[in-house]
Structure 1
Amino acid sequence: METRTDLVSTPDGAFDVHVWVPDGGRGPGILLLQEVWGVGPYIKKVAEDLASLGYVVAAPDLFWRVRRNWEGAHDAAGLQASFEVLGQFDPGQGVKDCADTLAHLRALPEVTGSVGAFGICLGGSQAFALAGGEPMGAVIAYYGSAVPDALELLDAIEAPLLLAFGGQDPYIPRDRVAEVERAAEGRANVETYVDERAGHAFHNHEAPDFYHPEAAADLWQLTVDFLRRHIPVRP
């Protein structure tokens, strides 16, 4: 697959967007939104996995206004350093940068068909917020900590939406996840998934303190099936 780094311009400057193009040279687009650790080895592996399925993937450097191209180590010190960067991050401005990246992705000549968003951790919150104002073919949010406090956005989200959580997540208590489940009831476009075995960031194979292999495999299969249903890759 082809990989490259594009630049997206804003009135405040330009930021990097990492792009992966599948071997077929074109396909539907996926906006991939980073965790607190940045666009590091884990996010890049997720991008490669999506591109191998036939998607054109764009992952913006969301922390560029704070620390350009931040990649935190997947250990206790790296997590603490990443939280310090996160503390200076403006979520509202981040959503605007996501929208600019989405427009860039849609305009790429390699992108054919629908475009969706897939956010993880911080990116899950950003994808959920973005979906409230941007039409997309599908939206996936893994353990977005801001989701329970923004459930009013569900009324504005028309895209098929998958919200995934871990039942043992210390950052998103189970009772808050239950609020999400109740808010999603009766909404035909919303699916919720809770793996009671797992905690936060359980899909991240680079983070041994969080990774749950069995739960990660199950969630990934669910994700692939969701994408194939709502943003199919055409031959």
Structure 2
Amino acid sequence: MKKDIQLTTSDQHSLNAYEHAPTNALAGLVVLQEIFGVNPHIRQVCDKFAAQGYHVISPALFDRVERNISLGYEPEDMQRGLNIRAKISPEKTLSDVIAAAEHLPYDKIGIVGYCWGGSLSWRAATETKLFSAASCWYGAMIPSLLDHPPHCPVQMHFGELDHSIPLDAIDKIRQAYKDNNGVDIYVYKNAEHGFGCQARSSFNSEAYELAQQRTLDLFAKNL
């Protein structure tokens, strides 16, 4: 069943979320948006994971500033998304993510995020103990969030040609976790930022298919 629901956080903030709960799901999954809101693409991402048997929820992280945000991928959409994101503290956003996880009635919960959501997935894996696996797609803030080890297995997926996440930044992550076998870092040749989004001009089907399969394998093993 697919529906829009309401969540309440620990600070009594009410936010929307998109939920897709297939029959007989065995594990939960939190899907975190890009800076474009819980738009049709993110809903489609949720539906694809639900088709794999996961009870999926995607919290509307922009609701603290403006509700019902669903943006496209034009430059003006990107600027609007960046402006909204700048108005929300990381701590508030993390509490929204926690509320989504606590809504799911499972012992094992995974998390996957894209762009802004990729960075937030990493924060959720390092700053909470709610998740059993995390997949972080092109999270540009991850290199500045290396103070804490993750509490679950983590995958990171980066594009070789992503100008917002240069290769030396990825090397910084590798160095920080070179002795941590729970962090797997993948760099996809000829892939740009947003390579996993079919609605963007940077979509790379080969990179997407491989990163998606690796993500599914991670969840199959740990959830």
Q: Which among 173, 181, 193 is matched to residue 188 of structure 1?
A: 181
Q: Which runs of 5+ in 1 are unaligned?
A: none
Partner Cα separation in structure 1 for residue 43 and residue 119 of structure 2: 19
1:101 aligns to 2:96 (yes or no): no
Give the corresponding residue for 2:108: 114
Q: Which runs of 5+ in 2 are unaligned?
A: none
Give the corresponding residue for 1:153: 148
Are the aligned partners of 1:8 and 1:17 in contact in 2 as well (CA < 8 Å)?
Answer: yes
Over residues 4-34 of structure 1, what are the superposed CA-to-partner deviations in whole Å (9 max), with x where a residue is unaligned?
Answer: 1221123443111211012x34320001111
1:140 aligns to 2:132 (yes or no): no
Report sequence identity in percent: 26
TM-score relative to the length of structure 1:
0.89
Q: Which among 119, 122, 133 is matched to residue 125 of structure 1?
A: 119
TM-score relative to the length of structure 2:
0.93
C-alpha RMSD of matched pairs (Å) = 1.4
Shift of 1:134: 2.0
Give the corresponding residue for 2:15: 15
Q: Which amino acid aligns with 2:78?
A: L
Q: Which amino acid aligns with 1:89?
A: I
How many residues align? The count is: 221
Q: Which among 204, 212, 215 is matched to residue 204 of structure 2?
A: 212
Partner Cα separation in structure 2 for residue 8 and residue 158 of structure 1: 25
Which deviates the most, 144-153 or 9-18? 9-18
Are the aligned partners of 1:184 and 1:192 in contact in 2 as well (CA < 8 Å)?
Answer: no
Are the aligned partners of 2:128 and 2:151 in contact in 1 as well (CA < 8 Å)?
Answer: no
Give the corresponding residue for 2:166: 173
Partner Cα separation in structure 1 for residue 4 and residue 41 of structure 2: 17
Shift of 1:77: 2.2
Over residues 147-200 of structure 1, what are the superposed CA-to-partner deviations in whole Å (9 max), with x where a residue is unaligned?
Answer: 10111122xx12011111112111111110111122221212111111131111
